Amino acid sequence: MPPTRLCAPLQSNSERVMPPPGSSADPADWYSFLGIGPGATTEQITAAVERLSRQANALAVTAPERARQLRDQARAIKQDLLSGAESRQRYDHGLAARTANDADTQPPGPVLRQAPAGYPMAAPAGPATPRPTASPPGPAIQSGPMPYGYSPPPVVRAPGVQAPGLMSRISKFLQTGWTCVSCGYGTQPTDKFCPKCGNRVESGLGGPQASGSAAGQVRPDAPSREPETLRSRCGQCGTWAAPGDTFCMRCGGGLTPGKSEN
Amino acid sequence: MAEPTALGIDLGTTLSVAAQVNHAGLPVVLPNAEGSATTPSVVLFDRGSIVVGSIARESLATEPELVVQLVKRNMGSSWSFDYQGISYGAEHISALILRKVLGDAQLLAGPVSQAVVTVPAYFNDPMRAATRSAAELAGIQVLGLLSEPTAAALAFGYERRPTGATGVVVDLGGGTFDVTVMDYDGADLAVRATGGDYYLGGANFDKVLFDFFAEQFAAAHGLNINDPDALSIEECTQISHDWLLRATRAKHDLTSRERTTAALHAAGLLLRVEVRRDMFLARSKPLLDEVSEKIVDVLAAAGVTPKDVDFVLAVGGSTRIPAVRERVHDIFGKPPDMSVSPDEAVALGAALFAAQRQLEQGSALDMDGQARDYLEKLTVTDVAAHTLGISVVDPGENVGNRRIMVPLLPRNTRLPFDTKQAFYTMRPGEQRIMVPILEGEEADPQLCRRIGEVVIDGLPPSRPAHQEVLVRMRLDKDGILRVAAADVATGLAASTMIVHANRQVSPDAADAAVRAAPIE
């Protein structure tokens, strides 16, 4: 067979995200949607939902909108069928009522349901979520949390209670950036001696200990004023220094005693 | 007794490679158990076992929902893959890939567990943290993370030993794109500027051809494969991946041919589609424009013009696309140097860096004397890929309590870098000061990533407003960020250290599964 030469005008590759009511993929009945029976065990439902979310993953590159729809559906199913016995019972009752209703009234129409608080409201997700009866499919549904949204993992070591030794090392960091003053080697905050040259890197500086709760805010260039306590300041550049500093942390100059404002 | 030389591992979006410096001092790629230099970064969950590599990739066409690929694009995100009641994150999948790569490497290299793992230069902090976690989960003793373009530049520099030269590394891999400008001076390599896009790579070019296939099939047969009425989810998934594999194959064909043909099957229908290179080029133009823009941006950030650049190194499999090479040629007025294998350069450079790290730590390596001398003298200076700063209240008039990101460590700052800046409290009586640490290029903190915080607690209740708070930020050459804040008036201080190694989430079922799963 020779390669096909295509001359027809190209058709838009728009994706439909909602199956029309009554189609084989109609999610009004999660059980049939997942290909399991209404009496399925939690394990069977879990396995089927897992498969659905894996299919969503598999379609993420080639059909992102459909993948998003599948993820929304998986979330809705988890909410209805896997978030506790009561939730599933409520869903089963609703499903049974709808089925009975459908049998009484033909043709079946969409059934409205009050969405419980916190229900994921991506449009195709709920079994009885109102949906358009017109057949042309709507645009991609964007509601709901972004499945690939970043939620950076906590990578920060929580600031611990400052033991006197740690306080001194923090002060040291503020002065030297935990760099050994003798050889310039970058040391760790827990180091007492430089691992390269053996010079003592822990200073004897400390600070008061206390606890508080009110969250404060800082602003970058509010009017500066001198600190209240008796401090030293650099004779060369005027920078205020931490208690016990001998040399200026900004320019390295010798420090002169400051005056108290109080 | 001499220690085994540590590995360099390129954990790629589509392919992973392991390399090691041999006794002659040459970095060499360690073939995997199947004899291939590269291992596809694809994982198949096959009931009781895990299959990584080419078999897993082939399974995309038959069992797509059991296969994970391109996971590197999800590093540091909340993405997950659910299988048998266990939710695997991106770092878990990456750990499985690394276990396979490490296990295969050990078949040739012996019981070595130390390695340098590479990351895209443009990876942000959560992404780097996830990569490090993955390596540790895989049982690797991480000697460091190294930027991929820097690794490639190292491999090139080791072979050519340029002096007083400026080079540009264009790294277009399977899923990510990096551009780095470097200065070479003997054994000193210094990055001037770097930039990129962690969502631009070969997979984007595959998708261009996949979309073309879908359009052609719909035009010929009236079947939209993404239509839920036309195909079930299973059919859609399977056909999509079959076509995606054919798209990748067609893309490879077009690197050496002007045209190729793909046979597409769906719903009992067949279509043979001719794919021409000029059509591929035209449809790829937006991607190529992005590549060009990024290159020009990074050149500007480095303060160099194309004329200042002595050579351009092209690495990453996607630089084999002729249109990419042409773009690079057009920008620099010279063809890219492809003398180091685009697929292997990063791993080779990582292996050199790993050996250098071992020598730096005093390890006794059995290695050629000249190579040892070079590696002992080797210095690699990197830059911060993203701006680091803190969130504070905007000091502007009539802006209320709007917060802004104040950069303390701008991107492309050469490392190590140490800075401090004074800030001031707003209100009297504040007993607790919180300094959120941000990463990103936007002035709005909401658009930046919050990577940590420093909290000064226990301030006296009677403090007036406008108290000076000194914030110090230091980023060392290994990417370890230290931030300290001190209330100047009281001397109270607090600090945090953000190390990519610190994984704060508690070990879970996926961790255990990753460690225990048999890997094929």
Taking CA–CA distances from B224, the nearest residue in chain A reads A13
- Of B115, B158, B143, which is closest to residue B11 (Cα–Cα)? B115
Query: What's the CA dihedral at A89, A90, A92, A98 to 10 degrees?
Result: 160
- 3-state secondary structure string, B299-360? HHHHCCCHHHCCEEEEECHHHHCHHHHHHHHHHHCCCCECCCCCCCHHHHHHHHHHHHHHHH
Confidence (pTM) = 0.72
Taking 60 as the threshold, does the pLDDT of residue A243 lie above it?
no
Q: pLDDT of B448-476, one tens digit each?
A: 999 888 998 888 888 888 889 999 999 88
What part of B 205-234 touches A (C-beta under 8 Å)? 207, 210-211, 214-216, 218-220, 222, 224, 226-229, 232-234
DSSP string for residues in B431-482: -EEEEEEEESS-SSGGGSEEEEEEEE----TT--SS-EEEEEEEE-TTS-EE
Say whether A3 and B261 touch across the interface (CB within 8 A).
yes
Residues in chain A: 262
* Shortest Cα–Cα distance, A100 to chain B (Å): 26
CA distance linking residue B463 with residue B189, whole number of Å: 50
- Binned at pLDDT 50, 70 and 90, residue A24 comes out as very low
b/e sequence B19-42, b meaning 16+ C-beta within 10 Å: bbbbeebbbbbbbbeeeebbbbbb
Q: Which residue has the higher pLDDT, B265 or B400?
A: B265
Question: Which residues between 191 and 250 in chain A have a beta carbon less than 8 angstroms from any beta carbon of chain B?
Answer: 207-225, 227-229, 240, 242-243, 249
In terms of CA atoms, which chain A residue is nearest residue B503? A155
Residue A162 to residue B203, Cβ atoms within 8 A: no
> What is residue A18's predicted lDDT score, i.e. its pLDDT?
35
Q: What is the pLDDT of residue B217?
A: 93
Minimal CA separation from A148 to chain B, in Å: 6
CA–CA–CA angle B66, B72, B77 (5° rounding): 95
Condensed to tens digits (0 to 9), the pLDDT of residues B21-66 reads 999 999 999 999 999 999 999 999 988 789 999 999 989 888 888 9
CA distance B425 to B469: 7
Is-contact B73 B207, C-beta < 8 A?
Answer: no
Helices (H), chain A: 30-34, 42-58, 64-81, 85-104, 164-176
CB-based contact A242 B495, cutoff 8 Å: no
ipTM: 0.77
B171-203 b/e (C-beta count within 10 Å ≥ 16 → b)? bbbbbbbbbbbbbbeebebbbbbbbbbbebbbb
Instruction: Name the least confident of B261-265, B281-285, B311-315, B423-427.
Output: B423-427
Q: Say whether pLDDT at B514 is over 90.
A: no
Position B165 confidence tier, pLDDT thresholds 50, 70, 90: very high
Angstroms from B510 CA to nearest CA on chain A = 15
Cα within 13 Å of Cα(B401), Cβ side: 6
**A114-152 b/e with 16+ CB inside 10 Å = b?**
eeeeebbebbbbbbbbebeeeeebeeebeebeebeeeeb
Give yes or no for residue A63 having a pLDDT over 70. Answer: yes
Alpha-carbon distance A197 to nearest alpha carbon in chain B (angstroms)? 14
Per-residue pLDDT at A174: 55
Residue B360 identity: E
C-alpha span between B408 and B122 (Å, rounded):
19
Query: Worst-scoring range by mean pLDDT, A29-33, A153-157, B199-203, B292-296?
Result: A153-157
**Which residue in A has a C-alpha nearest to residue B439's C-alpha?**
A152
How far does A160 lie from chain B, in Å, by closest CA? 8
Of A7-21, A213-227, B269-283, the range with the lowest mean pLDDT is A7-21
Structure tokens at B90: 């991106």
> Cα(B141)–Cα(B145) distance, rounded to whole angstroms?
11
Which residue, B383, B498, B388, is CA-closest to B439?
B388
pLDDT at residue A112, rounded to an integer = 34
Give residues with Cβ within 8 angstroms of A130, minimum separation 6.
A110, A112
pLDDT above 90 covers a percentage of chain A that reads 2
Which chain B residues in 15-54 lie under 8 Å from chain A, judged by CB atoms?
A: none
The amino acid at B509: A
pLDDT of residue A145: 35
Q: Tell me whether residue B135 is exposed, middle or buried, using C-beta atoms within 10 angstroms of its C-beta: 0 to 12, 13 to 18, 19 or more.
A: buried
Return the percentage of chain B with pLDDT > 90, whole number: 59
Q: What is the side-by-side strand order in the sheet with B188-197?
A: B311-315, B163-172, B177-185, B188-197, B379-381
Alpha-carbon distance of B442 to B66, in angstroms, equals: 39
Alpha carbon of A252: minimum distance to chain B alpha carbons (Å): 15
Which of these ranges, A9-13, B125-129, B442-446, has the smallest mean pLDDT?
A9-13
Nearest chain A CA: its distance from B460 CA (Å): 8
- What residues of A are in contact with residue B505 (Cβ under 8 Å)? 153-154
Q: What is the pLDDT of residue A157?
A: 32
Give residue-wise pLDDT tens across range B71-81.
Answer: 999 998 888 89
Shortest Cα–Cα distance, B184 to chain A (Å): 24
B214:A8 CB<8 A: no
More confident residue, B506 or B513: B513
The minimum CA-CA distance between B297 and chain A, rounded to whole Å, is 25
Summary mean pLDDT of chain B: 90
Burial of B6: CB neighbours in 10 Å, binned 0-12, 13-18, 19+: buried
Residue B433: CB partners within 8 Å, gap ≥ 6? A216, A217, A218, B425, B455, B456, B459, B469, B485, B487
Which chain A residues are closer than 8 Å to B78 by Cβ? 147-151
Res A216 pLDDT > 50: no
Q: Which of A96-110, B297-311, B336-350 is the least confident region?
A: A96-110
The pLDDT value given to residue A238: 57
Tokens of B241: 């991946």
- pLDDT at position B138 is 95
B388 vs A contacts (CB less than 8 Å)? none
Q: Is residue A77 within 8 Å of A52, Cβ to Cβ?
A: yes
Decide if B134 contacts B11 (C-beta within 8 A). yes
Are B493 and A162 an interchain contact pair (Cβ–Cβ within 8 Å)?
yes
What's the CA gap between B395 and B399, in Å, rounded? 8
pLDDT digits (tens, 9 = 90+) for B476-495: 877 778 899 998 888 888 87
Most confident of A6-20, A167-181, A226-240: A167-181
- The residues in A 135-154 lying below 8 A from B, measured between CB atoms, are 147-154
Q: Are A157 and B499 in contact (CB < 8 Å)?
A: yes
- The answer for A65, left when phi > 0, alpha when psi is -120 to 50, beta otherwise, is alpha
pLDDT digits (tens, 9 = 90+) for B338-363: 888 899 999 999 999 999 999 988 88
Q: Quick one: pLDDT at residue B289?
A: 95
Counting one residue from A and one from B, how many pairs have CB atoms under 8 Å apart? 307
B505 interfaces chain A, CB cutoff of 8 Å: yes
Query: Percent helix, strand, coil in chain A (nearest 5)?
Result: 30, 10, 65
Q: Which of B125, B457, B463, B471 to mutate to test the interface with A (most CBs of A within 10 A)?
A: B457
Q: A225 falls in which pLDDT band (50, 70, 90)?
A: very low
CA gap B295, B264 in Å, rounded? 36
pLDDT in tens, A37-55: 888 999 999 999 988 999 8
Task: Return residues 10-69 of A near B (CB < 8 Å).
Answer: 10-11, 13-20, 23-25, 46-47, 49-55, 57-59, 61-63, 65-66
- Give the burial class of B107: count Cβ atoms within 10 A of its Cβ; 0-12 exposed, 13-18 middle, 19 or more buried: exposed
Residues of B in contact with A229 (CB under 8 A): 489-491
Q: A-chain residues within 8 Å CB-CB of B400?
A: none
Which of A192-201, B85-94, B150-159, B228-237 bottoms out in mean pLDDT, i.e. has the lowest?
A192-201
Using CA atoms, how far apart are residues B457 and B493, in angstroms rounded to an integer? 8
Best of B488, B498, B502, B505 to substitute, by most chain A Cβ atoms within 10 angstroms, is B488
CA B145 – CA B119 distance, rounded (Å): 7
- Looking at residue B340, its pLDDT comes to 85
* Listed residue (A216, A218, A222) closest to B397, CA to CA: A222
